[in-house]
Amino acid sequence: MSNPGALDLAAGLGGKIEKNDVLSAVEKYEKYHVHYGGAEEERKANYTDMVNKYYDLATSFYEFGWGESFHFAHRFKGESLRESIKRHEHFLALQLGLKPGQKVLDVGCGIGGPLREISRFSLTSVTGLNNNEYQITRGKELNRIAGVDKTCDFVKADFMKMPFPANSFDAVYAIEATCHAPDAYGCYSEIYRVLKPGQCFAAYEWCMTDSFDPKNKEHQRIKAEVEIGDGLPDIRLTGQCLEALKKAGFEVIWSEDLAASSPLPWYLPLDKNHFSFSSFRLTAVGRFFTKNMVKALEYIGIAPKGSLRVQDFLEKAAEGLVEGGRREIFTPMFFFLARKPLVESQ
């Protein structure tokens, strides 16, 4: 697929929200967050509304900047961002030991970039679970274009209450998605339930690291910027994710913050000091162009009112992510591989 252009960005902006309601949706979204006086409990209680508003507003920007896969990657020198994103996806398939014909679940699948890549890479059938209607509509179109619509499908549902019978899948993965769950234990318990006994769940989690000091005002500011810029109710510590996995019944086979061993920083594409032609739209200069383009499109009425405000909170996210990465207090790639035991303990 070729990269979407400015008009695609404007047309998709707001997702399933009526164009005239985009500005009020932005205002409601912002009010959930610390910068606008919002509280964690309220974000957790209203996570479906908060997260869906975020993805209705942000998806066309994501597609414009990132392409079809909405996640970061462990980076090697000499690799383009696109290559490292695919390698990051292949790594999950390898860790899960996927075999041709297996039934796999992608939890929080976005518009299905990873799903299409993993399914073709491993010859598996992947079901994408997502609670955002607009992303599913886009994902179905892209599956058709990629020719994987017979082997892969999408299900619209909340990953806290999955509509699948117990023991349905041979493997489950989640890429930078379960961080939206109001409670990790609730989400991992659902994954545990739908996974067949003896099979594995692998994920890249967004987490605060052990270097995060909850009393440090700068750390709090960075965390709040990432939360508003990325539609998160709260960002958990790596240890809290491991505890939640064990409480849900999983055996953790191994876990590691892959950011720590990444030869190039994962946040490089967003770093103001970095420039790249191949990921130009994500660079500070590219974002500056996008901002002015969105401003003009909104002014002449092609993009809905409120579009520039979305660009603003996404800019906040970029700044928070780079600062969090540089200070090593935040990671988008806390990796774990966990198994549902063959025989459950009583």
Q: Does 114 bind ligand SAM (CB under 6 A)?
A: yes
* Paired sense of beta strands 169-175 and 195-208, if any: parallel
Query: CB within 8 A of 136, min separation 6: which ones?
Result: 128, 130, 154, 156
Q: Are 3 and 65 in contact (CB under 8 A)?
A: no
Q: Does 199 bind ligand SAM (CB under 6 A)?
A: no
Which residues within the stretch 138-167 sit at the binding site for ligand SAM (CB under 6 A)? 158-160
Q: Does 108 bind ligand SAM (CB under 6 A)?
A: yes
Q: Residue 286 CB, nearest distance to ligand SAM (Å)?
A: 20
Quickly count: other Cβ atoms within 10 Å of residue 121's Cβ: 16
Q: Does 29 bind ligand SAM (CB under 6 A)?
A: no
Token code pair at residue 132: 């955002």
Q: Considering only CA atoms, which of 317, 261, 270, 339 is closest in space to residue 88?
A: 261
Phi-psi category of 123—alpha, beta or left, where left has phi over 0 and alpha has psi -120 to 50? left
Q: Does 320 bind ligand SAM (CB under 6 A)?
A: no
Q: Residue 109 CB, nearest distance to ligand SAM (Å)?
A: 5
Q: Does 83 bind ligand SAM (CB under 6 A)?
A: no
User: Is 175 or 224 the residue whose CB approaches ligand SAM more closely?
Assistant: 175
User: Is 146 or 175 the residue whose CB approaches ligand SAM more closely?
Assistant: 175
Q: Residue 37 CB, nearest distance to ligand SAM (Å)?
A: 23
Q: Does 190 bind ligand SAM (CB under 6 A)?
A: no
68 burial (CB, 10 Å; 0-12 / 13-18 / 19+) is buried
Q: What is the total count of residues that contact ligand SAM (CB under 6 A)? A: 22
The amino acid that residue 87 corresponds to is: R
Start-to-end CA span in the chain (Å): 49
Q: Does 67 bind ligand SAM (CB under 6 A)?
A: no
Dihedrals phi, psi of 180, to nearest 5 degrees = -80, -10
User: Is 74 or 298 the residue whose CB approaches ligand SAM more closely?
Assistant: 74
Strand partners, 130: 156
Q: Does 180 bind ligand SAM (CB under 6 A)?
A: yes
What is the Cα–Cα distance from 197 to 330, expressed in whole angstroms?
A: 33
Among 122, 135, 199, 279, binds ligand SAM (CB under 6 A): 135
Q: Does 61 bind ligand SAM (CB under 6 A)?
A: no
Token code pair at residue 227: 């939360």
Q: Does 69 bind ligand SAM (CB under 6 A)?
A: yes
Query: CB within 8 A of 113, min separation 6: which ones?
Result: 67, 68, 69, 70, 85, 142
Q: Does 51 bind ligand SAM (CB under 6 A)?
A: yes
Q: Does 269 bind ligand SAM (CB under 6 A)?
A: no
Q: Does 79 bind ligand SAM (CB under 6 A)?
A: no
Among 9, 12, 13, 55, binds ligand SAM (CB under 6 A): 55
Among 43, 53, 71, 287, binds ligand SAM (CB under 6 A): 71
User: Is 206 or 250 the residue whose CB approaches ligand SAM more closely?
Assistant: 206
Q: Are 198 and 192 in contact (CB under 8 A)?
A: no
Q: Residue 301 CB, nearest distance to ligand SAM (Å)?
A: 28
List interacting residues with ligand SAM (CB under 6 A): 51, 55, 69-71, 108-110, 113-114, 129-132, 135, 158-160, 175-177, 180
